[in-house]
Structure 1
């Protein structure tokens, strides 16, 4: 009996690579769904739709971007973690869901950011920009810090939600500048931006693609970048690290992941198509103009990048004491 079971087990193991290859050969045979765990209109949504269009053209099947929002992206991420690992349900992962959430939510998080997912491709890193409403009497970061110190608790910053890179950028700013500024979380960048334009909140540490039109039309004033390096999209805006907050260096990242245990051949096919998009000179120029820096990494490199970023964001959460 034991011998028969052993033989069956060995046969199944031997057949597994062939089965995975067969699955990849016929993949995709139906539409692919990419879950964006944040609201429509944000930078992640823009990227998801650009990638979706490219994947649809390359793979010959419709790629549908769905917005499943809530809990700072965790609802959409959990949905994909529980999906069948067949390559038809993917998620736009981010520093919020797979970098910040594990340390902020702890045991309350309904998924393991690494073990419950297959890393397919880390797509871009993105620098956030600190923007203020024109009514705020500050023309640079030091003037903003002085204003905040003179009026503790009076200024506020909006974000796309608690536990996002926008939230943590604001918390790190408060920690390093030693100021008291109220955090106002929203259900997505677009809603927060509406209230910032209307003057309901004072400032945001927001996605460059979302802020650019308002900066160029003088409806918002850009004071600094959260990353230590300048951005090609906003070359005239200095990093916060060069304006009296040394070592301030935060960048969001976006990537594509699927449920754990996806067939390697399917992961590689998806990765190859995404890397092709990111490596194209015209696409690269477009993304850089949006404030996104392409990361054309293979699946293994992407997995390491995501694990390293999780460790970095965990340190930021500990340093600032940020909570949800």
Structure 2
């Protein structure tokens, strides 16, 4: 049997070898911790299919599967603003075979929105890496608002308070929190229409049942490019490289405004550090690579890998920031 020192050297060397060698390398890396992965790994997405979290999780899962030689299966466990799927992972065995594709709502907003959660979004998880930052894109149904930008929308909303309707994937979702921040920043009131997921909300927006939404780029940009929706602005402090023609909200009369979604991979607390480090290294390589990074950018996402420690600090800071918005806007869950 190989010594632990040799096993560690094999693990590090494995990062430099071709993907076809991944199963053998994974076995060497896992010596002393159990062979990981030696069976399928599931990535829980705590939302219905079709939203940004699902799109990013599936793209990353496909690359991890090719690299590590075992299936990475995305499992959608939606409901209660993402708390159901998040709870599943928080209480799963800490063995590296159950991961969570968390995001701003599940890891930063929900602690302020939901009382009596059975988990803590910092203490109950082992952060692996921040994966991507996804600026929100405000879009309208072009039949409802055929022209104009953010300033015109604000003027319309002020003339007719609560007459405009905006959709989201549910109370406390990323789209809901982004629009709440926008309303606080501009002093307007709009009627929130929560849905059970991004996909049904998008169907109603395109169909004209609701007026607008302010959500992540991946599900938004394709219908914008097809002319089914019209983009008004992006929530980041810079224009998207994949959609440079869409101005920022900040440059349209709301200075300093920024309200981005973000996504990151976490595991149950106490997951062995060698597994966390292996996933962190592989995710960083994949997210910075020429195969996935351009795809993310074309869909309005920006790869943002970092260390597990940096991701933990980021989650803590975001909890404080968005908890303040929840309180000021008096947001309530379903």
> Normalising by structure 1, what TM-score?
0.90
Pairing 1:112–2:120 present: yes
Q: Distance in 2 between matches of 1:157 and 1:127?
A: 17
Please give the alpha-carbon distance, in whole angstroms, between the structure 2 residues aligned to 1:154 and 1:23.
Answer: 62
Change (3 A) 1:258 1:237: same
Question: Root-mean-square deviation (CA), in Å?
Answer: 1.7
Equivalent residue in structure 1 for 2:131, among 115, 123, 132: 123
Q: Which digits, 9 at most, give the CA deviation of each residue in 1:272-316, with x for residues without a partner?
A: 111110121332122111111111212222222222222222232
Count of residues in correspondence between the two structures: 305
SS class of match (2:148): coil
Aligned to 1:215: 224
Structure 1: tracts of 5 or more residues without a match: 1-19
Q: Report the counterpart of residue 15 of structure 2 in structure 1.
A: none
Give 1:174 deviation, angstroms. Answer: 1.6
Alignment partner of 1:199 out of 201, 208, 222: 208
Kept in 1: contact 2:30–2:36 (CA 8 A): no
User: 1:321 aligned to 2:330?
Assistant: yes
Given the superposition, is the C-alpha separation of residues 139 and 113 from structure 1 closer, same or farther in structure 2, using an over 3 Å criterion? same
Question: 1:168, 1:317 within 8 Å by CA — same for their partners in 2?
Answer: yes
CA contact (8 A) 2:180 2:325 kept: no
- Determine whether 1:53 maps to 2:62: yes
Structure 2 counterpart SS, 1:310: helix
**Residue matched to 1:7:** none
**Partner deviation per Cα, 1:118-168 (whole Å, 9 max, x = no partner):** 101110111010000112235111111111122222110000111122101
Q: Deviations over 1:214-270 (max 9, x none)?
A: 111211111111122211122111111111111210111101111111000111111
Q: Work out which of the residue numbers 102, 105, 109 in structure 2 matches 1:96.
A: 105
Q: What is residue 142 of structure 2 aligned with on the other side?
A: 134
2:87 to 72, 78, 85: 78
Q: Report if aligned partners of 2:242, 2:300 keep a CA contact under 8 Å in 1.
A: yes
Q: Which residue of 2 aligns with 1:294?
A: 303
SS in 2 for 1:124: strand
Q: Secondary structure at the match of 1:317?
A: helix
Map 1:1-324 onto structure 2 (within 5 A): 22=31, 24=33, 26-105=35-114, 107-137=115-145, 138-324=147-333
Q: How far apart, in 2, do the equivalents of 1:243 and 1:320 lie? A: 23
| Deviation (angstroms), 1:21 | 6.2
Distance 2:184 2:312 in 1: 30
Look up the SS of the partner of 1:122 in the other structure. strand
Post-superposition shift, 1:27?
A: 0.5
| Unmatched segments (≥5 aa) in structure 2 | 1-28
Change (3 A) 1:58 1:24: farther
> Partner of 2:111: helix, strand, or coil?
helix
Distance across 2 between alignment mates of 1:243 and 1:181: 19
SS at 2:241's partner residue?
A: coil
Q: Does the 8 Å CA contact 1:148/1:181 hold for their aligned counterparts?
A: yes
**TM-score normalized by the length of structure 2:** 0.87
Contact 2:134 2:260 in 1 (8 A): yes
1: distance between equivalents of 2:240 and 2:326?
Answer: 25
Q: How far apart are the structure 2 equivalents of 1:23 and 1:313?
A: 41
1:243–1:130 Cα change, 3 Å: same
